Structure 1
Amino acid sequence: MRWPALLPLLPLVALTTHTIVNAALLRRPRTAATTTERVAVLLPLRDEAERVTPCLQALLGQSGVPHLEILVLDDGSADGTAEVVRAVAGDKVRLLSGAPPPAGWLGKPHACAQLASAAGDADVLVFVDADVVLAPGAIAGGVELLRSAGVQLLSPYPRIVGAGRLVQPLLQWSWLTFLPLRAMERSPRPSLAAAGGQWLVLDRAGYERAGGHAAVRDDVLEDIGLARAVKRAGGRIALADGSALAECLMYTSWRELRDGYSKSMWASFGSPAGAAAVVGLLVLLYVVPPVAAVVFLAAGAVGPAGWALAAYLLGVVGRVAAARATGGRAWPDALAQPVSILLFGALVVRSFALRRSGRLSWKGRPV
């Protein structure tokens, strides 16, 4: 086969190879770690009565952290969230009543800022969402890895469960495929940053040098914004696979997933043109090949059909590598990579449409 015939495959070969290399280099917290540092676990809640119990029980069962304080903030819930916290945890956690966000602040950054201010003399701040359930040694493992990696912000991605098997795995796949993880750790560039707000581990001093959540007060993607703020302040960040120590039930239905993605996808790209470029590239790389394979085969062009099929399979291999590295389900989900990309594109379009019409909201608050 002539070299020109291989050229269309080279980008996919490079990307899939990058996924595999990143997966091999991916940091992971130890499951049997201990720490003597003072750690504050910070849990912001708004209308989480139905899902907070497993999260709280897991936090109360942490081991390897003798100096641990759990602070919970009820951010104006109307569903009895505070009562559930009291019933489950009693006086084992410190329950705060959140103030309404002032002008210029979004709800979650404001809730997190209040929690951090109340964290006393903690050396390490651990932010956790209500839909995350941590294994007993998760907090100690996260703190140990924060220190051994020499970073100020560590983002251990939990294993994602629940609705969205076609879309949710794209989160981990995207940064394993397109983000050079170790280069990101070394680079001072704020634009080269990623993080997931479900579970964040931060050095307290580094968090405060970055301006805390006040630095991202109006940021819809406050987790990524916080990672960039840490870099701007001279700190370092790292991603890790936390799937062995944490599980996250982000969405229980397609409607929840659709609304959750629509709330924030517009903020991921900078502009509609940028979003169109990214989605167009993904479609070209991962959707066109299987369609082309069918078209070529129907036309009797067996050679081109084989190369198009090879391109499709390279995308599948990348999804499998990402799933195996992050505790996800590889088969048969990876075979549906083209469908995943199309659904992702549709969610991006919906997010920009709602943003343009001013109809974006989340938990009763405008975005």
Structure 2
Amino acid sequence: MSAVAWITVGSLAAWGWLLLGQGFFWRTDQRLPAHEEYGRPDEPEKYGAAPGVPVRWPSVALVVPARDEAEVLPESLPSLLAQVYPGEAEIFLVDDGSQDGTGELARSLSARYGGLPLTVSSPGEPEPGWTGKLWALRHGIALARARRPEYLLLTDADIAHEPDSLRGLVAAARANDLDLVSQMARLRVASGWEKLVVPAFVYFFAQLYPFRWINRPGARTAAAAGGCVLLRTEAAERARVPESIRQAVIDDVSLARAVRRAGGRIWLGLADRVDSVRPYPRLADLWRMVSRSAYAQLRHNPLVLAGTVVGLVVIYLAPPLALCAGVFGGDTAAGWLGFAAWAVMTGTYLPMLRYYRQSPLLAPLLPFTALLYLLMTVDSAVQHYRGRGAAWKGRTYARPKAAPDRDLGPDPAP
């Protein structure tokens, strides 16, 4: 066989492993755990209530870090104010040095819509050693703790929640004894570039952090989706969050790892009733979203970057190239191997496209999307070495820390 055919053998073997041995990452059935029984009066003892006494819903503080979010706040904040929750709940929006009137807009929206109580505050510029979002979370959590809530909902300013979202998150956490419940919000998919890139973003994330591995009690793999994280306050204190992860750019993965190291039980899945309203209409917008943290995920290690590039080429680009070699170059073995690997690749992508309600015709384009992500990752490294790594909303973290991963690693088996 030719060299191209042998490379494609490696690609097909890799896809065989990804299909069956990587926690079935391609499936999209990890949704909010069963929680319908929470609050049922016929089993009050299960929840610490006396017979005949309704189940008490725990208090929750909703912490929203916001920097220059006036564009999306009118869509997201009213959804938080309108939460229908049986217990005590209060919103703390942290205006992180905004220049577009985010704080004033938040107050006016609260006055217009009513609903949950809203406190707007500003922490000032981050102290040395803190990334902006975590500095804002630190301030918001400190304000919230004065109310002694049992749970914290950490949600981004571009995330819209259905009215029963908070209730569902708390019910799932209580019914399943979870310290952290996180949902990956359904990202906006409207423009052509969003349709091409966004579902693949979640697909690649799940491939790196298989949800089934994360959700298994006692597992070593840990991750969360920073846009929607319900966190037990006691677990946050045990994990010293956010102080213990104050320099992390990939703060959601760092948060989950910190909670798991402190003995907490975590869960991550796809959302049905939580959506991101932030638009990424142009390729440049999506490029910045990915490249700002891609090299941090690789621990700023050139060898890991080189391995990632080689892996993406072999796994995603080799199959279509081998098929072309078979069709146009007469390399029959390479052609059939490339077709088989590309077919498996396409099949694993279909469930994510279905989740995002996109055409299955986009599935065969995954190699092209992977090429874009490869270029974004290389660009992330280039920007890092130019001193412009992790630039976001006017702040640049030249040498940020990646998500800490000591004592953690991927599960050895699905």
TM-score above 0.5? yes
Gaps of 5+ in 1: none
Q: Distance in 1 between matches of 2:167 and 2:22?
A: 28
Provide Cα deviations, 1:99-148, integer angstroms capped at 9, x if missing partner.
22111111100100111111121111111111111111111111222233
Using the TM superposition, name which of 91-100 and 78-87 deviates more: 91-100
> Cα deviations across residues 188-213 of structure 1 (Å, max 9, x unaligned)?
576x2222211111111001110011
Q: Give, as a single letter, the amino acid of the residue that structure 2 aligns with 1:115.
A: G
Counterpart-to-counterpart distance in 2, 1:228 and 1:218 = 14
1:3-22 correspondence runs (5 A)? 9-17=12-20, 21-22=24-25
Deviation at 1:280, TM superposition (A): 1.8
- The answer (yes or no) to whether the contact 1:30–1:141 under 8 Å persists in 2 is no
Instruction: Quote the residue 2:371 is aligned against.
Output: 342
- State the shift of 1:357 in Å: 0.7
**Contact conserved, 1:55 with 1:134, CA < 8 A, in 2?**
yes
* Superposed counterparts of 1:283-362, under 5 Å: 283-324=313-354, 326-327=355-356, 329-360=358-389, 361-362=391-392
1:256 matched to 2:285: yes
Contact 1:19 1:321 in 2 (8 A): no
Instruction: Give the match for residue 133 of structure 1.
Output: 160
Alignment-derived partner of residue 111 in structure 1: 136
Query: More deviation in 58-67 or 213-222?
Result: 58-67
Q: Deviation digits for residues 198-250 of structure 1, max 9, x if unmatched? A: 111111100111001111111111111111111221212221111x1111134
Q: What pairs with 1:136-147 in structure 2 (closer than 5 Å)?
A: 136-147=163-174
Aligned residues: 361
- The match for 1:274 among 304, 313, 321 is 304
In structure 2, how many angstroms separate the alpha carbons of the residues matched to 1:24 and 1:18?
16
SS in 1 for 2:350: helix
1:338, CA displacement in angstroms? 0.3
Distance 2:218 2:23 in 1: 25
Go from structure 1 to structure 2 and tell me whether the alpha carbon gap of 1:175 and 1:366 turns closer, same or farther (over 3 Å shift): closer
Name the CA distance, whole Å, in 2 between partners of 1:329 and 1:30: 27
User: 1:51 matched to which residue of 2?
Assistant: 72
Q: Take 1:65 and 1:31, find their aligned partners in 2: how far apart are those partners?
A: 15
Cα offset, 1:341, TM superposition: 0.6
User: Residue 97 of structure 1 aligns with which residue?
Assistant: 122
Residue type of the alignment partner of 1:14:
W
Q: CA separation in 1, counterparts of 2:197 and 2:28? A: 23
Query: Residue 274 of structure 2 corresponds to which residue in structure 1?
Result: 246
Give SS of 1:283's match. Answer: helix
CA distance in structure 2 between the aligned counterparts of 1:330 and 1:148, rounded to whole angstroms: 36
Q: Give the 3-state SS of the residue equivalent to 1:154 in structure 2.
A: strand
What letter corresponds to residue 56 of structure 1 in structure 2? L
Q: Secondary structure at the match of 2:196?
A: coil
Conservation of the 8 A alpha-carbon contact between 2:353 and 2:360? no
301-310 or 195-204: bigger deviation = 301-310
- For structure 2, the residue ranges without an aligned partner over 5 or more in a row are 1-5, 40-55, 398-414
SS of equivalent to 1:71: strand
Mapped partners of 1:262, 1:21: distance in 2: 26
CA separation of 1:48/1:175 partners in 2, compared to 1, >3 Å: closer, same or farther? closer
Structure 1 residue identity aligned to 2:297: S
CA RMSD across the alignment: 2.5
Distance 2:161 2:14 in 1: 38
SS of the residue 1:122 aligns to: coil
The 2-side partners of 1:25 and 1:261 are apart by 25
Deviation of the 1:318 alpha carbon: 0.8
Contact 2:93 2:118 in 1 (8 A): yes
| 1:331 CA drift (Å) | 2.1
- Assess, with a 3 A threshold, how the Cα gap between structure 1 residues 328 and 346 changes in structure 2: closer, same or farther: farther
Q: Give the TM-score taking structure 2 as reference length.
A: 0.80
How is 1:71-220 mapped onto 2 (pairs within 5 angstroms)? Answer: 71-90=92-111, 92-119=117-144, 120-162=147-189, 164-186=194-216, 192-220=221-249
Shift of 1:30: 6.5
Question: How far does residue 260 in structure 1 lie from its aligned partner after superposition?
Answer: 2.3
Q: Which amino acid aligns with 2:183?
A: P
2-side partners of 1:63 and 1:205: how far apart? 24
Q: Secondary structure of the equivalent of 1:171? A: helix
Change (3 A) 1:161 1:344: same
Contact 2:154 2:227 in 1 (8 A): yes
Contact preservation (8 Å) 1:286, 1:341: yes
- Opposite residue 262 of structure 1, the aligned amino acid is S
1:236 matches 2:265: yes
TM-score, normalised on structure 1?
A: 0.90
1:25 Cα deviation from its structure 2 partner: 5.4
